């Protein structure tokens, strides 16, 4: 099981002040928090991503494990990893391909090169989010580590950080915890999943019930439409 259940509990505790907001009518969810530009959030709300609407909060202090990865992405710390050079060069050479072709190549490469290994076995803890460099060095990771490495490669392949989101949720029908990378290309949102070599748009992934997602700017909490 991925080790993000405890970060989720911490996140929910940290945003207790938003409880009244979250319990309010759906109309409130259609209005982004003022510090988030409306032009940047409207596409997400209109898309109704994977069956839910998003409440945007602008603090990620409770997401300590993500903050570590976030800083790595923002500062390109993985570039200092000797083993990352070949991966970076490979991703940069994808620039001549279409956006979807780049994502398909990234998805397949990471799925093939990493071996799935739970945090308890790798780190002796149930909760650890690896940086891209750590995943490259180890050659192992669990589902959010696959997603994070794919985000790094997508960045090197020409996508921007504000279009990359690590989404965590549960899979039907057994509510199995899972994480994927969601990449926005203009008005299309693609899902990169370590369980599949295919890159699908989000409307083709009705099997995922999202709980929260993180970008380098925000945390997004999901609430099903209809106030459920």
Contacts for 113 with CB less than 8 Å, ≥ 6 apart: 139
Exposed / middle / buried, residue 226 (Cβ in 10 Å: 0-12, 13-18, 19+): exposed
The pLDDT score that the predictor gives to residue 62 is: 53
| pLDDT (tens place) for every residue of the chain, 228 residues total | 555 555 554 444 444 333 333 333 332 323 333 333 444 443 343 344 544 455 555 555 557 888 899 999 999 999 999 999 999 999 999 999 999 999 999 999 999 999 999 999 999 988 899 999 999 999 999 999 999 999 999 999 999 998 999 999 999 889 999 999 999 998 889 999 999 999 999 888 888 888 888 888 877 777 654 444
Q: Which helix (H) or strand (E) holds 143?
A: helix 143-156
The DSSP secondary structure of 162-176, one letter per residue, reads GGEEEEEEEETTTTE
The pLDDT score that the predictor gives to residue 37 is: 41
Contacts for 11 with CB less than 8 Å, ≥ 6 apart: 62, 63, 212, 219
| Domain housing 170 | 5-227
Percentages of the chain per state (helix, strand, coil), in multiples of 5:
50, 20, 30
The pLDDT score that the predictor gives to residue 59 is: 55
pTM of the model: 0.78
CB-CB contact of 147 with 188 (8 Å): no
Which residue's structure tokens are 């390109």? Answer: 76
CB-CB contact of 204 with 149 (8 Å): no
The pLDDT score that the predictor gives to residue 200 is: 93
Extended beta strands in 27-147, E state:
52-57, 115-116, 140-141
The pLDDT score that the predictor gives to residue 113 is: 97
CATH code of the domain covering residue 62: 3.10.620.30
Give how many domains the chain has, as a whole number.
1
């Amino acid at each position: 099981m991925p080790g993000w259940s405890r970060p989720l509990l911490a996140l929910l505790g940290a945003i207790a002040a938003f409880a009244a907001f979250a319990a309010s009518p759906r109309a409130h969810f259609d209005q982004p928090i003022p510090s988030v530009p409306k032009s940047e959030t409207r596409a997400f709300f209109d898309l109704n991503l994977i069956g839910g609407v998003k409440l945007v909060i602008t603090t990620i202090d409770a997401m300590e494990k993500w903050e570590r990865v976030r800083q790595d992405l923002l500062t390109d710390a993985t570039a200092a990893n000797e083993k990352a050079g070949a991966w970076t060069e490979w991703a940069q050479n994808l620039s001549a391909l279409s956006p979807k072709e780049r994502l398909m190549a990234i998805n397949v490469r990471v799925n093939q090169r990493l071996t799935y290994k739970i945090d308890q076995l790798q780190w002796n803890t149930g909760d650890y989010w690896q940086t891209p460099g750590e995943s490259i060095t180890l050659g192992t990771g669990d589902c959010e580590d696959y997603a994070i490495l794919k985000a790094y490669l997508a960045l090197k392949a020409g996508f921007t950080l504000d279009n990359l989101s690590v989404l965590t949720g549960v899979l039907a029908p057994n509510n199995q915890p899972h994480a994927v990378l969601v990449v926005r290309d203009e008005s299309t949102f693609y899902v990169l999943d370590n369980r599949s070599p295919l890159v699908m748009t989000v409307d083709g992934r009705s099997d995922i019930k999202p709980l929260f997602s993180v970008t380098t700017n925000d945390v997004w909490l999901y609430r099903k439409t209809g106030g459920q």
